[in-house]
Chains A and B, each alone.
Chain A
């Protein structure tokens, strides 16, 4: 039933234009020769060059990458553990509450998450800096990881773990040498998702960052208040690029594993 009609084509064009036109404008102006953002004066990559000279931006970028790496790693460990317990522990008292609480940050307004984290850090006397942003990002990214890993674990054949136990593994050894290698694609795509989420977070980071730990989104936001420069356009274009690569990689990893699993099943059925 795939047929080309003018209606379909129009709907598609409008839909995508709505989603991507602003970004396209931003990307194209990042290659603008002129300093004036809204006046086109020819193609140039000089703003990218100037961006690389800007130490403040580079420092912020480095902080952002560090935060994204550590928070996504921590979130992956915690999120995988939470998912494992949710799927494996069976029914226990407070299971519903526990699972609800894992997923709550998904729907919680970021401002509230950020504010509560800020109050918490002040209460325990933790100076705001890279560490506090890492902790804050871990908090909200781990529920995303947990969702991704849970969906994989649900379809995981439990008898594989029982076989590992039966062959002499301790429960931890069984998880490490059987469960983890098999669910690894889901864990990796969870990590990539957490990494991208951390990379472009502004609200929570601005609540929990200190003077020495400005992340890129905060830097851009404050720079824009003084006027949009082509440099910011260039920087934003780079960030769009990184996030796109991250999201595509995450979906490719999980799709490849689904396709492989399906192919294996098919081969198994044929023989």
Chain B
């Protein structure tokens, strides 16, 4: 799902020499008795498009508001370019924010909204006009400069909010659910616009979203949050392919999670090979793990439905399970088959509908075989 980047792979987080733009150091935020953020440490690098992803109430908005200066950490420090920004008020931070409600000033025109921040900066008056025009051009709003916010559409308003936040060329741009108010189609278009603008301006973006697809599409790295903590921080493909816990695996996309116990390895098997017994009278699952798992420890095996093949005849594969089709969800381009492989145990398998519906040979109650390779899934201990 990661979008291809033309240049050399951008990965400052793998470079031990790279200096992060933002550093959260053991940050805790409490509201009365409620702990919104708990002992969080996180580095964000310059030019990143960083996504904070999580369900509502996980602390992602609080984290962003601390960057904007609207909340101060109860404990710990936040460094921007090596400087502690804790005591700096929002109007003196080189950080701008795009609000979820856009927060456009209703009494000012589009032009004046964009110029609002510039008029309060050290920028000479004669340069403000040029800068505003540049922003209008960047966001394709030239025609609407004279209009008031209520005279333009939702998508245009979203772009005004973006232009206004970018006008002061901040070191860091915060986006709070920027596309939440747009309909699905417009949201997809705007995601690509956002990525283009981020690349053109070279600004560091931090986006808060609860939409996992959006985070996967736009971000260079994604932080999955739960209950004030980071569950995993990684690139979108790592998050999807190699989640570090059942929580992350389950939160991102669709997944089959199978509980089991590790069997004593066979003699001569590779160190990383794992066999998992998950049901009586069933062949154990063969998989690989990046660390050694002691025998008899209980684990979860997670596998994405699209990595499970379905067929009516027994295939040759590392893992083959028999089952009966309970349900078929037809989504047009793909179908998801719910296959009961043991009483009460359903595995989802996805197949592309490359044949017309009338020619499909699988139907309800059919006896089928599910199969996957030994590298298709991940073994999780948490």
Q: Which residues of A contact B (CB under 8 A)?
A: 157, 159-160, 162-170, 173, 178, 181-182, 263-264, 267-268, 271
Contact = CB atoms under 8 A, between A and B. Distances in A.
B187 to A, nearest CB: 15
Contacts of B107: 181-182
A169 B120 contact: yes
A166 B106 contact: no
A167 B168 contact: yes
Contacts of A173: 120
Interface in B82-103: 89-92, 95-97, 99-101, 103
Nearest to B89: A165
A169 B89 CA distance: 10
B4 to A, nearest CB: 34
A182 B105 CA distance: 9
Nearest to B96: A166
A159 B105 CA distance: 10
Contacts of B103: 157, 159-160, 162-163
Given A157-B101, A173-B120, A178-B105, A165 B91 contact: yes
Contact of B105 (A160, A166, A263, A264): A160
A145 B7 CA distance: 62
Given A165-B90, A167-B120, A167-B164, A264 B154 contact: no
B70 interface: yes
B152 A271 contact: yes
Contacts of B96: 166-167
B35 interface: no
Contacts of B69: 165-166
A165 B153 CA distance: 25
A268 B168 contact: no
B15 to A, nearest CB: 31
A257 to B, nearest CB: 11
Interface string B233-262: 000000000000000000000000000000
Please classify how large the interface on chain B is, using the bins under 10, 10 to 19, 20 to 34, 35 or more. 20 to 34
Contacts of A178: 105
A96 B116 CA distance: 37
25 contacts: A157-B101, A159-B103, A160-B105, A162-B70, A162-B90, A162-B97, A163-B99, A164-B116, A165-B69, A166-B68, A166-B90, A166-B95, A167-B96, A167-B116, A167-B168, A168-B117, A168-B120, A168-B121, A169-B91, A170-B91, A182-B107, A263-B150, A264-B106, A268-B157, A271-B153
A81 B91 CA distance: 22
Contacts of B105: 160, 163-164, 178, 182
Interface in B114-160: 116-117, 120-121, 150-154, 157
Nearest to A264: B150
A162 B150 contact: no
Interface of B: 68-70, 89-92, 95-97, 99-101, 103, 105-107, 116-117, 120-121, 150-154, 157, 164-165, 168
A172 to B, nearest CB: 11
Given A163-B97, A168-B168, A182-B106, A268 B120 contact: no
A271 B155 CA distance: 8
Contacts of B120: 167-169, 173
Given A166-B95, A268-B150, 12 more contacts: A157-B103, A159-B100, A160-B105, A163-B103, A165-B70, A166-B68, A166-B69, A166-B165, A167-B116, A168-B168, A181-B107, A267-B150
B150 A159 contact: no
Contacts of A164: 105, 116
6 tightest A-B CB contacts, nearest first: A167-B117, A168-B120, A271-B153, A163-B103, A264-B150, A159-B103
B37 to A, nearest CB: 19
Given A173-B120, A181-B107, A166 B97 contact: yes
Contacts of A267: 150-151
A159 B61 CA distance: 13
B330 to A, nearest CB: 33
Nearest to A162: B70
Counting chain B CB atoms within 10 Å of each CB, which of A162, A168, A169 scores highest? Answer: A168
Contacts of A169: 91, 120
Contacts of B99: 159, 162-163
Contacts of A163: 97, 99, 103, 105, 164
A160 B153 CA distance: 19
Q: Which of A167, A168, A173 has the most CB of B within 10 A?
A: A167
A159 B68 CA distance: 12
A258 B21 CA distance: 45
Nearest to B167: A167
Contacts of B70: 162, 165
B101 A159 contact: yes
A181 B105 CA distance: 10
B319 to A, nearest CB: 51
Contacts of A264: 106, 150
Contacts of A166: 68-69, 90-91, 95-97, 117, 165
B208 to A, nearest CB: 14
Nearest to B176: A159
A106 B103 CA distance: 35
B39 to A, nearest CB: 26
B151 to A, nearest CB: 8
A164 B91 CA distance: 8
Nearest to A181: B107
A173 B121 CA distance: 13
A164 B96 CA distance: 10
A159 B157 CA distance: 15
A263 B106 CA distance: 13
A181 B120 CA distance: 18
B375 to A, nearest CB: 47
Contacts of B165: 166
B93 to A, nearest CB: 8
B161 to A, nearest CB: 9
